[in-house]
Structure formats: C-alpha cells, structure tokens
Amino acid sequence: MQTSLEHDSLEEASADLLAFVLAPQNWVMLSELRARPELRPGQNPAYQRTVGKLRICASVDVTPTLDVFLRIAFRAPGLTPNRAADHLAEFISPRIPLLRNSEWQVQVDSRGWTHFMRRYAGTTLEA
C-alpha cells in the first residue's frame, strides 16, 4: 500500500499538495470515479500529505455538469471542526487568500475527516 508524502510543516505540505491539485491535468473528473475508483483522492496517495499526525487530502473536483470545486479535508486524533478550520486557513493562505464571507461547505464524515469545499471556478466550464 502506498502512503502519502510526509512534511515537517503545514506550509511545506500546502506548497507541495496545492501545486499538484491546482494543476488542471490533476483535476478529478467525478464522472470517471465509478469506473476507476483508484483515482479517488481518498484512495490515491498523490492527493494526500501528512504533517505529524495530521492527514490532509485535497483535490479540484469537476462535476459532470462542469462545475469546479476545491475540496480540502483534514483528519487527526481529536480534531474538531474549529481546529480543522484553523488548519484550512493556514493551509490555503500562501496560494488562496481566505476572504471574509467566503463560503465553504463543511462536513465531518464517519471516518473522522473534516471536509471543506467551495466553488473553485466562478462559473461552469465551457467545452
């Protein structure tokens, strides 16, 4: 089993992982995941990084209707949604400013991951 890359700081992990996921050739086409589950960011170590006990998973997801969303998730022992939001702010700040009133959807799943998701492209992509 492959493991995610380890980093000494959230800043290093951010620089590495965001550079990877924001490159259009690494965007995840959600319509392809059923046929190719190994491409799922949660199962593909290329979309994951580790800083100590903190695990990070990020992707840019493209829906079948060509809407584009940035998804960043965190998991660690005892991680609360508030602490995960602090990690999010630190994680994205070098590349994507966290603006006041920016809307992020937040979800905690049954495996303990805290997911943050927001629209990445302002409008639907056009083919």
Note the pLDDT tens digit of each residue in 51-79.
Answer: 999 999 999 999 999 999 999 999 999 99
Q: What confidence score (pLDDT) does residue 104 get? A: 87
User: pLDDT for 20-35, tens place per residue?
Assistant: 999 999 999 999 988 8
Host domain of residue 94: 5-119
- Can you give the pTM of this predicted structure? 0.87
Query: Does 76 reside within a domain?
Result: yes
Query: Does 31 reside within a domain?
Result: yes
Number of domains in the chain: 1
- Nearest-angstrom CA–CA distance, 33 and 26: 13
Query: Does 104 reside within a domain?
Result: yes
Residue 19: CA count within 13 A, CB half-sphere: 6
Query: Does 27 reside within a domain?
Result: yes
Strands (E), 81-122: 105-108, 114-119
User: pLDDT for 92-104, tens place per residue?
Assistant: 987 776 666 668 8
Query: Does 127 reside within a domain?
Result: no
